[in-house]
Amino acid sequence: MKFLPAAVKLKTAEEKELEKDILTLADLEATDIDLLLDRARQLKQRHKKGIMDWPLTGKTIGLIFEKASTRTRISFQAAAAQLGGTSLFISAADTQLARNEPIEDTARVLERYLDALVLRTYSQKMQEDFARVCSIPVINALTDLYHPCQVLSDLLTVLEYKGRCQGLKVAWIGDGNNMAHSWINAAAVLRFELTLACPEGYMPDPGVVNQAKARAGGDIRVINDPAEAAEGADVINTDVWASMGQEDEAEARQAVFASFQVNAGLMARAKDDAIVMHCLPAHKGEEITEDVFEGPQSVVWDQAENKLHMHKSLLEALINRAAGV
């Protein structure tokens, strides 16, 4: 059996350890993200060579999801298995949470069984409540407000294609949603240029934008013109027009967002070697045309794959940190 030679212990420049939880990228330092990215790249290379690592032997990771998931759920479960751990998937509806058992009580029970908890919830506050009570790491696998693990995985994809994040011109086209918020957080931490083009009424949360601007300065802009955002961009990013929980608004949103489609015309404004990103699932013909989605600039399948490698890096770092390794 082969164990990893040395556990990764994340520290910031000030020698502050990585936070216990990953609830939002706003809690991270650039050095944290760099270390997570480096380790994800290393784990990816080792996986491709067929080298097996089992740093999570004997560890149990619980996943409680209130919303649907294909990629996040399965990549976390595969990550846990491939690192020698065990994962338990629990639909929130099947727990006593659905019958109003308090989070405080649930959390104090789960920390006695589990080594980490991966949560997909509507509310960000629910994750904060779990994190406050639980001694084990809590990992945000998407809320209405943020999707931090997706953007960490996406940064790995950006790094693979562009060799760096700093200095890049990144465009977000569409809804000012949970993904947009986590990109805003990432831009503030890593200091790349981010321009978001969103329709009036669907802009990102001003609190998230202002907090990021206070940290990063003037490199984060929110505008209403997709063409301007795409101009000279290295990375074009989009997402569904109606997120999970907004199904009732889907039809109304189609009209509002019609001019916010990522299509060949918009791509022509970006750099010739720009990449197009989408966290998936995609609604082809709505936020992105089929030709762009399937075209040579699309990196969506690498994004999906990189969730596996980044989730390994995250689980290892947080569980090792919690164990004092």
Q: How far is the CB of 218 from ligand NVA (least distance, A)?
A: 26
CA dist., res. 214 & res. 235, Å (int):
23
The residue among 104 and 294 lying less far from ligand CP, judged by its C-beta, is 294
Neighbours of 261 (CB within 10 A): 19
CA dist., res. 103 & res. 117, Å (int):
13
- 181: contact with ligand CP by CB under 6 A: no
The residue among 110 and 155 lying less far from ligand NVA, judged by its C-beta, is 155
Q: Could you tell me which stretch among 52-60, 160-168, 190-198, 235-243 binds ligand NVA (CB under 6 A)?
A: 235-243
Q: How far is the CB of 225 from ligand NVA (least distance, A)?
A: 22
C-alpha pair distances (Å), 267 with each of 10, 141, 239, 264 = 38, 30, 15, 5
- 78: contact with ligand CP by CB under 6 A: no
Binding partner of residue 179 among ligand CP, ligand NVA, none, CB cut-off 5 to 8 Å per kind: ligand NVA
Binding partner of residue 143 among ligand CP, ligand NVA, none, CB cut-off 5 to 8 Å per kind: none
Minimal CB distance to ligand NVA: which residue?
Answer: 243
Binding partner of residue 70 among ligand NVA, ligand CP, none, CB cut-off 5 to 8 Å per kind: ligand CP
Interior CA angle at 246 toward 245 and 249, to 5°? Answer: 155
How many residues comprise the chain?
325
Binding ligand NVA (rule: CB under 6 A), the pick from 243, 303, 306, 313 is 243
Binding partner of residue 59 among ligand NVA, ligand CP, none, CB cut-off 5 to 8 Å per kind: none
CA dist., res. 112 & res. 158, Å (int):
38
Widest Cα–Cα separation across the chain: 57
Using CB under 6 A as the binding rule, the residues of this chain from 107 to 136 that contact ligand CP are none
- 91: contact with ligand CP by CB under 6 A: no
C-alpha pair distances (Å), 166 with each of 79, 187, 277 = 28, 9, 17
118, 141 contact by CB (below 8 A): yes
Tokens describing residue 151:
């953007």
> What is the separation, in whole angstroms, between the first and last Cα of the chain?
19
Q: How far is the CB of 304 from ligand NVA (least distance, A)?
A: 11
Using CB under 6 A as the binding rule, the residues of this chain from 248 to 287 that contact ligand CP are 279-280
Using CB under 6 A as the binding rule, the residues of this chain from 59 to 98 that contact ligand NVA are none
Using CB under 6 A as the binding rule, the residues of this chain from 147 to 166 that contact ligand CP are 150
Binding ligand NVA (rule: CB under 6 A), the pick from 279, 288, 292, 299 is 279
Binding ligand CP (rule: CB under 6 A), the pick from 45, 70, 123, 259 is 70
- Burial code of 197-219, b = ≥16 C-beta within 10 A, e = fewer? bbbeebbbeeebbebbbeebeeb
Q: How far is the CB of 42 from ligand CP (least distance, A)?
A: 23
Binding partner of residue 40 among ligand NVA, ligand CP, none, CB cut-off 5 to 8 Å per kind: none
- 178: contact with ligand CP by CB under 6 A: no
**Residue 152 backbone phi and psi in degrees, to 5:** -60, -45
Binding partner of residue 308 among ligand NVA, ligand CP, none, CB cut-off 5 to 8 Å per kind: none
Question: Where are any strands of DSSP class E within the chain?
Answer: 60-65, 86-91, 116-120, 138-140, 169-173, 193-197, 220-223, 235-238, 275-278
Which residues make up the interface to ligand NVA (CB under 6 A)?
142, 147, 177-179, 239-240, 243-244, 279
Q: Which residues bind ligand CP (CB under 6 A)?
A: 69-73, 142, 150, 279-280
